[in-house]
A and B are shown apart, each in its own frame.
Chain A
Amino acid sequence: MKNIINIDLIKPKIKEAKLSLYLLKKDKLTRIALYLSIFLFILALVGYWIVPYPQHIADEANSINKLQPPSMEYFFGTDELGRDIFSRVIYGTRISLITGLFSVGLALLIGIPLGAIAGTMGGWIDELIMRITDIFLSFPPLLLAIAVVSVLGPSLQNAMLAISLSWWPWYARLVRGQAISLKERKFVQAAKAIGSSNFKIIFKHIIPNTVSPVIVQASMDIGGVILTIASLSFLGLGAQAPTPEWGLMISTSRNYFLNAWWYSIFPGLAIFITVLTFNLLGDGLREILDPKTRKN
């Protein structure tokens, strides 16, 4: 019993990891995306301690130096209160990644079980769940999120909640489609013949096998979610001042657009890079996780 975690347990993982590495090695773009995303995560983790002006992340005003162009002192210039935009953009990574991951995570938590139940059970349960998702899908996600936030009141937490609420139907649909094909697989039939409960079939047999496409979809969506959060903040429905959220920063920068180009460019660039990174990462993951789309 003591050797329960023995080498045999790890071997298949090593082999799988080798294959993934091999595929990764061949795909330059995915490799870049992977490095970039690791970089972004590190920035999010240690950003507070490495930025030159951590005090500017909060509301501390420094009005002598307001709206300075980029220089050696302030890499990305300063904003209307004289705060260092570089420090705020770097710290913004943490906010964007957390909100992105959390929103997608919540959407997955709602969407996966509902989709799996609908697909596996079929019949009226399927109809009920899918008609509800249809209702959600009939609104554009951003519009739905705006509606939800205006009901709940503008704040970053509510924006995240709103995005999860408008995003889960996509996962429910994806998982349902997978579940419908998986439930015809013989191992599910075998589990039924054995007498396993529906609960066990859904959560132990169906859901683990839908993981790959869901991971791919989710990693691509993180970019979209970050963009939506930024949009909500831009409209004043997400993060509130003085939070250094990229969308909010761009929103404020509108007033100084003509004489302080750096104020909107650098947060915008940060959004661009983050979204692109996650999209490329998602594409690459699909290549690795889904053999059907492999180029050879």
Chain B
Amino acid sequence: MSSYLEIKKLVINHKTFEGIRNVIDIDSLKIKKGKTYGIVGESGAGKTILALTILGLLQTPPGKIESGEIIFEGENLLKKSNKVLRESIRGNKISMIFQDPMSSLNPVFTIGYQMIQIIKKNQNLKKDDARLKAVEMLDIVKLPDAKSTLRKYPHELSGGQRQRVIIAMALSCGAELLIADEPTRNLDVTIQSSILKTLKEIQNKMNVTVLFIANNLSLVATFCDKVGILKDGKIIEENDVHSILTQPKMDYTKFLINSVTDVKKEPKKSNNSEIILEVKNLKKYFEINKKFFSKKSDFVKAVDGVDLTIRKGDIIGIVGESGCGKSTLVNTILNLHKPTSGEVIFKGKNIFELEKQELDHVRKNIQIVFQDPFWSLNPRWLVKDIIAEPILVHENISSTELLSRVKNLLKMVGLNDSAAYKYPHEFSGGQRQRIAIARALSVEPEIIVLDEPTSAIDVVSQVQILQLLKDLKKDLDLTNILISHDLSVVHDLCDKLHIMYLGKIVEYGEANRIFQKPLHPYTIALFESIPTLEKSNVNDLAQIVGEVPSAINPPEGCRFHTRCPRVMEKCKTQIPLMKEFESDRIVACFALENDYGRNNESIK
């Protein structure tokens, strides 16, 4: 069978102020009709440039296509004029799904208007026919109540729904090749799994060829038939999913596979050291005045009654999807927000009742490493000033001593002395995260909060940062609170795990045991939604319905009942309490209470 899309000897250069840089150098890439081809690569590997070039949307300058051919259905796309591409290729033959569903829809028009415009233009249909077609497409992508969706504006839809609309748009004009550029990147895992399932279904039904671009090998392994590894603009290895996973040839591929393979951990011995931080029934509501004239206001219940106990030397993981309140929780623990109610007790004292001086002492002892290393470091400061900032706030030392301490810290996180006199923008994401870690370590705190420390950096750096954190933990006996939605990170580092859903903790226990046997239906769904190398088909992913409800008016009763596969009448009205089902396994779920056939005493 001949190939449907073929790229031959494509070379693209980018002209920058530092000279010409080669961004794409692909010898040959062939995609067969109806198949799914996955491209895996880090950010900067040239994935998006490749996609844009196929569509003829590459910005020239600064980009320049030096040589090569892109053959699509026997014709070279690079030879075609922009007009031909616009009128007969884009939309009709090849469509693209962009990575950010938030910005790829125009916020000032309704979904219906945007879809109907495209369909009218590309298929010469009358408005009413176009509307019917739009409804049909929205049904295909499984948006509930397609007709009313057409009247909505993009901001009224969630990220997952928007991505479905975009898929519907991309396919509405009969495109046969779909380029999906990290279509699920900013989505939660449970939403990701349902979108991937829908996409696969459509692909089979409409016989669409998909070029799937991702930075995550397990995602591609689950979704695609064939994988190409893209590194620095070159396809360094290409094969069937199965062969590439079992017989990788290049070191880089092996590295990628190893980085997502679960490590088997030794069970930790239980930790009975002193309790260093205790969170008691912490609540944080944000007030929003929805109606202009009414005095009654609504609340976003971001954190709603959370208890945590942290012992010295533990690494506590808090896991949940976006919007579950995990960031609000740590910000409140750090006293960046005032809580609505509840206590955070650090070494016997409630931090919300402290005088300024004592509060400074607490602040010195609880430091944070933020998720995004690009904005957590002041771009106008030298690295030495960034790292020294906490020291200068809390201690009074000479500048010579300060400099030697900064250099020590840099060494500790694996950076060179010379880094001290550079600005943050000269470092890669991973290196910046090291600087952020050095800053957190600078005043020798007892607790370091890690807010998704690896989610914004590439795979190679992720592995290195995790190793660094492990080493530091061993050397310094730190206590960590780790927040993440990435279960492999959590599994690697954490001793104890808290699973959080819509402001409440639903499951708590030792990390290893939760991984072996999750109990709460949400935890199970979460674990099954995550693409891994073992899941070779999208059908292996969890079937979890719906989206995370809004935290403004969270569901009555158990907050998970709207999506729970084991929902009972009781769940809709009563709130399940955290109960101990097995030793040290504390879960809030009525269904489990039935399973275990007893009503344990609720524990707080």
Contact = CB atoms under 8 A, between A and B. Distances in A.
Given A12-B426, A189-B370, A209-B379, A194 B421 contact: no
Interface stretch (A16-24, A223-231, A235-243): A16-24
Contacts of A15: 426
9 contacts: A12-B426, A189-B331, A190-B368, A190-B376, A193-B336, A195-B360, A195-B390, A195-B393, A209-B378
Contacts of A192: 336
B370 A186 contact: yes
Interface stretch (A1-9, A40-48, A67-75, A141-149): A1-9
Given A187-B378, A189-B336, A196 B389 contact: yes
Given A190-B376, A193-B367, A209-B378, 12 more contacts: A8-B422, A9-B382, A15-B426, A22-B17, A186-B370, A193-B336, A194-B363, A195-B359, A195-B390, A197-B393, A205-B378, A208-B378
Nearest to A13: B423
B328 to A, nearest CB: 13
B389 A209 contact: no
Given A18-B18, A189-B336, A193-B336, A1 B400 contact: yes
A23 B17 contact: yes
B375 interface: yes
Interface string A260-296: 0000000000000000000000000000000000001
Nearest to B356: A195
Contacts of A186: 370-372, 375-376
Q: How large is the interface on B (under 10, 10 to 19, 20 to 34, 35 or more residues)?
A: 35 or more
A209 B425 CA distance: 14
Interface of B: 17-18, 59, 61-62, 331, 334, 336, 359-360, 363-364, 366-368, 370-372, 375-382, 389-390, 393-394, 400, 403, 418, 420-423, 425-426, 436, 439, 443
The 9 closest A-B pairs by CB, nearest first: A22-B17, A186-B376, A195-B363, A8-B421, A208-B380, A186-B370, A194-B390, A187-B378, A9-B421
Nearest to A195: B363
B423 A12 contact: yes
Contacts of A1: 400, 403
A194 B372 contact: no
A196 B393 contact: yes
Most chain B Cβ neighbours within 10 Å, of A185, A190, A195: A190
Nearest to A184: B375
A200 B393 CA distance: 10
Contacts of A6: 421
A186 B418 CA distance: 25
Interface string A91-104: 00000000000000
B400 A187 contact: no
Most chain A Cβ neighbours within 10 Å, of B359, B372, B375, B377: B375
Most chain B Cβ neighbours within 10 Å, of A22, A187, A196: A187
Contacts of A194: 363, 367, 389-390, 393-394, 443
Contacts of B372: 186
B392 to A, nearest CB: 9
A195 B393 CA distance: 7
Contacts of B389: 191, 194, 196
A227 B372 CA distance: 45
Contacts of B381: 208
A286 to B, nearest CB: 18
Contact of B363 (A8, A187, A193, A205): A193
Given A194-B390, A195-B363, A296-B62, A185 B375 contact: yes
A200 B359 CA distance: 18
A23 B366 CA distance: 44
Contacts of A211: 380
Contacts of B439: 190
B480 to A, nearest CB: 15
A200 B390 CA distance: 12
B394 A195 contact: yes
Contacts of B422: 8, 11-12
Nearest to B377: A187
A252 B101 CA distance: 64
Contacts of B59: 296
Given A12-B422, A186-B372, A209 B380 contact: yes
B375 A187 contact: yes
Contacts of A200: 393
Contacts of A193: 334, 336, 363, 366-368
A189 B359 CA distance: 16
A77 B390 CA distance: 66
Nearest to B423: A12
A29 to B, nearest CB: 19
A293 to B, nearest CB: 16
